[in-house]
Structure 1
């Protein structure tokens, strides 16, 4: 197991890492990682199908934008409140068991939604519960990666997961549109249920991935059991507190968390403002707006494919900062674009920046955070990101209503660049400080 002690001592060594093979080569040669990649890709495809089905259902039944907004908040922001607990679950129990349980629980929740198509309050509760399961699954799957691949292959592995996640997620709406004509809302939701079942069956092919906390306690048996056989129980609250204190003691983790949350708090509004920019300021159609949203997906896919081949030549923190800057600058310049074509190119570049950010964050945490609290690191960070996105939707929506889409994009981009500059200075200082 890689040495995580000395905090940032490894940071300077990242620059000498060299890619040992691209993402696709890693998928061909590493069976366990291929199993994890397949399960995640199938699960994400199902999530995308289910989200489209529920959005269409609410638009037809409730006919109010507030219902759609509440659905998105229930699926993204509410699970963020449970991020630390979700991460602790993946640390405390065997990762294979956690991931399979998450897929089964999510499948049962979606099955209940498909069977009843409940009223909005009940639907929001079920969607929030499914989101908590998804958050736990993602924390566990990210924690599993460094157990499956060598350290020099982490960039390629995270890039491959990005391709599987965002590539199939982009196909979800297209597949859902085709299924609507054949089976309706319930049929699409049942396909979502089937993807969770397939993912769980695929994950069952993984070897036992025992609890990281158990291994840290000195019991290295490859078990999917709880923390330690015969060990005195430790309260969840104490474990959460200890893990949080440990994460705060790592300088770069503190800076990454603050910088990532700050960038998302400014830039998350672009998901809301892009359609207004396309239709109002640029005089485009609904199809033109869809093209701009597609630009981000194309950039993500291209960025992950590129990083899967050459990402190991960059230090992870370098990728992170490049992602901060490019994604923020992309928003700022998009607000100044004079045509749909120009905005499309800029959003594509922004998507590539987001890919660099994602690979940089995941890779650095996998290298620097102790395995016993790695799940909690991912759960806490991405839970905070979900809350920051919700804040961005709310405050950015008010700015959009008071001004226009161009000003909203410029403010979002400028704010993101200021956070990026502050993060660059803070990371430079943090790299010289040991953990406390």
Structure 2
């Protein structure tokens, strides 16, 4: 597909480049805040600014994608993020100024997300959505995985400011690539009021049993399992007595699992069964991590978790793309990604409190057991949706409203 579809190739290259820059700048900002304040709370606030602020405006962010040309929206978002990071790189501001700037940049990224997801079905045939979403996942995961490694090599040479300026360059490259995409104009929305338009997008999710199950299930699984990276560090260091090198290797397991998972998922049908399977495997990976007796067992469990994450990611995005009409796709994706960001932020807070009150093993068991309970409830909801519609959810043409072809 990357060889034969020039439009999708441009989108894939732009997203991969942009995500690599995001990973570079995240490492640089975390080190800048940690060294400048010496407080873990400051680092937590930085992460919350990047997650919670855009989550609150997720449905509104999707309105932009449904109202304006997708190509222009994506180019504008990349340029806006690049401008914010340029200010941060040149100024290196104090925390009180940095947090609002990070929130503004995250908000632009939140607008970009539904636009890029809505662009995929405009560039590829319906039968190729699984492969397209898997390739997007592979590219973004590659950027996020390689980013910290590249940052580790470049920070001694370029410093914090230099790495942040490199992130600015990736946004510019991404914007240039996206500018060559075909235009994807939107039809005028029936309601010009953005708040009422956002509410209509939320109403579309509420009115569809399939969409409710997909969105709510995904959000709740993230809510339970979002603390895993933090808990993993304490588990390896405190319970298994591993050093920093062991922590780094174990943290790479999810990324390896994601690569394998995306490669496998590209060859299967992305229906409701794959979504539930991804929920179950990712949650089971955390549950088994809580009982792991050695770093090797933790690595295996987390690699399996990564494969499950790939399955749930491709299945959820494909189900939404096949179910939602083109004129509401941005708002549904805005709601979806906003809910995920909110769940991740709440998971940081709740999971941190649980870690302080108990232990890493207890946190993993609670996360995994909660995720499995959500999986069972989601599968039951998907089966009810199938019985109600008399169809198999997630297959082309089976949805309540089959998405019109084209953008």
The aligned runs of 1:211-250 (5 Å cut-off) are: 211=186, 214=187, 227=188, 234-250=192-208
Check if 1:35 corresponds to 2:22.
Answer: no
Match in the other structure for 1:190: 165
2: CA distance between counterparts of 1:252 and 1:237?
Answer: 24
Q: What secondary structure, in the 3-state scheme, does the structure 2 residue paired with 1:28 have?
A: coil
Check if 1:156 corresponds to 2:131.
Answer: yes
- 1:246 Cα shift? 2.0
Check if 1:80 corresponds to 2:55.
Answer: yes
Check if 1:291 corresponds to 2:249.
Answer: yes
Match of 2:153 among 168, 171, 178: 178
Match in the other structure for 1:323: 278
Check if 1:71 corresponds to 2:42.
Answer: no
Q: How many residues align?
A: 391
Check if 1:273 corresponds to 2:248.
Answer: no
Match of 2:84 among 89, 109, 116: 109
Match in the other structure for 2:295: 340
- 1:78 Cα shift? 1.4
Match of 1:264 among 215, 218, 222: 222
Q: Deviations over 1:394-421 (max 9, x none)?
A: 1111111111111110111011101100
2: CA distance between counterparts of 1:296 and 1:112?
Answer: 33
- 1:293 Cα shift? 0.9
For the 8 Å contact 2:191–2:197, the answer to whether it is kept is no
| CA 1:337–1:233: 2 relative to 1, 3 Å | closer
Match in the other structure for 1:306: 264
For the 8 Å contact 1:288–1:340, the answer to whether it is kept is yes
For the 8 Å contact 1:109–1:126, the answer to whether it is kept is yes
2: CA distance between counterparts of 1:250 and 1:233?
Answer: 21
Match in the other structure for 1:418: 373
Match in the other structure for 1:147: 122
Q: Deviations over 1:257-313 (max 9, x none)?
A: 2211111111111121000110111111111111111000110111112222x12xx
Match of 2:359 among 382, 401, 404: 404
Q: Deviations over 1:96-133 (max 9, x none)?
A: 00000000000000000011111101100000010011
1: CA distance between counterparts of 2:323 and 2:279?
Answer: 20
Match in the other structure for 1:354: 309
* Uncovered stretches (5+) of structure 2, i.e. residues with no partner: 390-399, 402-407
Match in the other structure for 2:318: 363
2: CA distance between counterparts of 1:428 and 1:65?
Answer: 44
Check if 1:378 corresponds to 2:336.
Answer: no
2: CA distance between counterparts of 1:305 and 1:330?
Answer: 19
Q: CA RMSD in A?
A: 1.3
| CA 1:99–1:342: 2 relative to 1, 3 Å | same
Q: Deviations over 1:42-94 (max 9, x none)?
A: 11111111111101111111111111100000011211111111111011100
1: CA distance between counterparts of 2:346 and 2:19?
Answer: 24
2: CA distance between counterparts of 1:234 and 1:183?
Answer: 47
Check if 1:200 corresponds to 2:175.
Answer: yes
Match of 1:91 among 51, 54, 66: 66
Check if 1:49 corresponds to 2:7.
Answer: no
After TM superposition, which residue ranges in structure 1, 4 or more long, deviate above 2 angstroms?
432-436
Please, what TM-score do these two structures have when normalized by structure 2?
Answer: 0.94
- 1:315 Cα shift? 4.1
For the 8 Å contact 2:58–2:335, the answer to whether it is kept is yes
2: CA distance between counterparts of 1:239 and 1:160?
Answer: 31
- 1:432 Cα shift? 2.4
2: CA distance between counterparts of 1:129 and 1:120?
Answer: 14
My pick for the range that moved more, 262-271 or 332-341, is: 262-271
Match in the other structure for 1:222: none
